[in-house]
Amino acid sequence: MAAVRAPVASRLAAVSAFASLSPGSRTPSQRAALHRSAPRPGARVALVLSGCGVFDGTEIHEASAILVHLSRGGAEVQIFAPDVPQMHVIDHTKGQPSEGESRNVLTESARIARGKITDLAKLSAANHDAAIFPGGFGAAKNLLCCIAPVLAAKVLRGVEVTVGHEQEEGGKWPYAGTAEAIKALGAKHCVKGVAISFLAAHVDQKNKVVTTPAFMCETALHHIHDGIGAMVRKVLELSGK
């Protein structure tokens, strides 16, 4: 899973109407209000989905965890997906393609977004402080032609990302080979775990990219949820909101 901070123009802070009143004309409640911190606008985050379902779309638990943590962090979220056909449809009870069935990525992603979704073609970096790409094979099949952390490696030369560990360790890290693909693109892979949440996310300060292993590791669901929370917190910190 990867998150990238987007460059945006500065935003104006709201000015309290009480500032125009003379001290003597203010009521006690108005004077007290002047000493409170003005509410800071939340970060504007684009969440980019690639369908609905781990084997042919977005990993649903990852997307849900991101939305929970963004909500807790006070972010303003807009969800996007491309209006294109899926590469194929997987029967998740069998792990095999469903012959003769086709689905649309935007339509399927709308299931996760509860209908509040926008065509990815309309996403503008100028309107957002950050973008987050949940995992799932749909990221490779329908969206990026690679899993989410590898996207950053393809786009940003020398970027630092993590997909967890570099050895399978008896099946605990079944996709550990992805680390070699990241290195082959000239990026740096950083080993991270998931059991200790605050150590589960890697931040590339130079490139403003945050990644976490999530379901790259076979572990308890709450560890993955907490690791995603660490990633979201780091994204919001980088946004300055």
Torsion-angle region of 232 (φ positive above 0: left; ψ -120 to 50: alpha; else: beta): alpha
Domains contained in the chain, number:
1
Task: State the catalytic residue, choosing from 145, 146, 190, 217.
Answer: 146
**0.95 exceeded by pTM:** no
Q: Assess if residue 101 is contained within a domain.
A: yes
Catalytic site includes residue 145 = no
CA distance 135 to 59: 6
Residue 20 lies in a domain: no
CA distances from 189 to 53, 147, 166, 183, 234 (A): 27, 14, 9, 6, 18
**Is 29 a domain residue?**
no
Measured CA to CA, the distance from residue 229 to residue 205 in angstroms comes to 18
Domain-located, residue 139: yes
**CATH at residue 81:** 3.40.50.880
Domain holding 120, by residue range, is 44-239
Residue 227: both structure tokens together? 């690791």
Per-residue pLDDT of the chain (241 residues; tens, 9 = 90+): 776 655 433 222 222 233 333 334 444 444 444 444 555 679 999 999 999 999 999 999 999 999 999 999 999 999 999 999 999 999 999 999 999 999 999 999 999 999 999 999 999 999 999 999 999 999 989 987 677 788 888 889 899 999 999 999 999 999 999 999 999 999 999 999 998 877 899 999 999 999 999 999 999 999 999 999 999 999 999 998 7
Residue at 33 is within a domain? no
Helix (H) or strand (E) holding 47: strand 44-48
Asked if residue 54 is part of any domain, the answer here is yes
In-domain check, residue 107: yes
State both tokens at 235.
Answer: 């994204």
In 3D space, the residue among 236, 226, 142, 235 whose CA is nearest the CA of residue 192 turns out to be 226
State whether residue 23 is helix, strand or coil: helix
**8 domain-assigned:** no
